[in-house]
Amino acid sequence: MQRMNIKGFINFAYVITVLTLSGCVGDLDTIPIDEDVVTAAVVYDNPESYLGVLAKLYAGLAVSGQQGPAGQSDIEGIDEGFGQYLRGYWYHQELSTDEALVGWNDQTIRDFHAQNWSSDDGFIFAMYSRIFYQIALCNEFIRETTDAKIADRGLMPRWLNK
């Protein structure tokens, strides 16, 4: 009986040792191998890129992709036409009231006026996806443009040069 307890303890210790020592230490701390992947470290090393990113943040309110009418949408799985922020905002603000009349029948657009909304509606999904996409972009820009990060990159912003 005591021999089984010792054997069980040895097996348990072996399993714990294997699980503890075989973890990936530093394996995930790599830079992307794919040359098409652009990281924040690359983007924010160039001072001109700050204006480009800021332009993308504002453009995201009016455009829904990189190419136009279809091809390089910012959000995969959403049509670039109704995935645009201001258009979706207008749908949600106006089509759900008596102020606008729905005279066309794109997918589930009439459901706005009929107050027959559901989580499966493509227009609602597109609007909320766009909102959260824009929030994520803006939050990343705020994180990357602190005075400390700019100073770490060796870039001196104009407002600190005074």
For residue 36, is it left (φ>0), alpha (ψ between -120 and 50) or beta? alpha
Domains and CATH numbers, the chain: 27-156 (1.25.40.390)
- For the segment 103-129, what is each residue's pLDDT rounded down to a tens digit? 777 778 778 778 888 878 888 888 888
Confidence category of residue 139, pLDDT binned at 50, 70, 90: very high
**CA–CA gap between residue 52 and residue 134 (Å, rounded):** 15
pLDDT at 31: 66
Does the pLDDT of residue 51 top 70, yes or no?
A: yes
CA triplet 64, 143, 61: central angle to 5 degrees?
Answer: 20
3-state secondary structure the chain: CHHHHHHHHHHHHHHHHHHHHCCCCCCCCCCCCCCCCCCHHHHCCCHHHHHHHHHHHHHCCCCCECCCCCCCECCCCCCCCCCCHHHHHHHHHHHCCCCCCCCCCCCCCHHHHCCCCCCCCHHHHHHHHHHHHHHHHHHHHHHHCCHHHHHHCCCCCHHHCC
Confidence category of residue 142, pLDDT binned at 50, 70, 90: very high
Residue with the bigger pLDDT between 73 and 24: it is 73
Its pTM stands at: 0.67
Residue with the bigger pLDDT between 116 and 4: it is 116
Confidence category of residue 49, pLDDT binned at 50, 70, 90: confident
* CB-based contact 95:82 (threshold 8 Å): no
pLDDT at 66: 75
Q: What is the mean pLDDT of the chain?
A: 78
pLDDT at 21: 65
- For the segment 59-95, what is each residue's pLDDT rounded down to a tens digit? 888 888 777 666 678 888 777 776 788 888 888 888 8
pLDDT at 161: 55
CA triplet 110, 111, 113: central angle to 5 degrees?
Answer: 70
Best-predicted range by mean pLDDT among 4-13, 88-97, 138-147? 138-147
